[in-house]
Structure 1
């Protein structure tokens, strides 16, 4: 009976534990990739927002240049 428990323990360590470890780390890697993809989408959204804001600032500067040519000197 002692040998049976020993054999079961060895089988558990050789078969079950490696499968559990492989599943655990595969899940962590997939989660990390998903987070990275979400981070990339968020950065893309921020880049698009920054580009729109830059375009608006340039438009406002053109309007101010046309309406009040010396506005830049007044800021200094």
Structure 2
């Protein structure tokens, strides 16, 4: 009896229910494929905000270049400077520092 019930239930689910479910959601998806007015306004606001942020970043880079043309290289410290332990004069990698400028004072970048 169970051998007959399983094919009677599974075959209609596979060949009728599953395709109906897929086509139902495909038609729903295609009918709502356009942006709403609120979505368009949000995209316009985000685009304007991104443009303003880009303008600000360009202004900051111009100011930085005017003050110090080599600011990009100064901002990227070498790995050895980032790993040194300034309290003991030893680097974090285990070696001693032969640089006499290693102190407990923070480094000044720029002028």
Matched positions, count: 45
Could you list the runs of 4 or more consecutive aligned residues of structure 1 that deviate by over 6 angstroms after TM superposition? none
* Residue in structure 2 matched with residue 22 of structure 1 by the alignment: none
Corresponding residue of 1:66: 66
Name the counterpart of 1:25: none
Secondary structure of residue in 2 paired with 1:69: coil
Structure 1 residue 47, shift from structure 2 partner:
0.5
TM-score (normalizing by structure 1): 0.52
SS of the residue corresponding to residue 40 of structure 1 reads helix
Distance 1:72 1:64 in 2: 9
Give the Å deviation of 1:75.
Answer: 2.4
Asked if 1:46 corresponds to 2:46, the answer is: yes
Task: Output the aligned Cα RMSD.
Answer: 2.0
- TM-score, with normalisation over the residues of structure 2? 0.36
The structure with the larger Rg is 2
User: Deviation string for 1:1-45 (max 9, x for gaps)?
Assistant: xxxxxxxxxxxxxxxxxxxxxxxxxxxx8xx6xx71111101100
| Residue equivalent to 1:17 | none
* Structure 1: segments with no counterpart, 5+ residues: 1-28
CA distance in 2 between counterparts of 1:68 and 1:52 reads 24
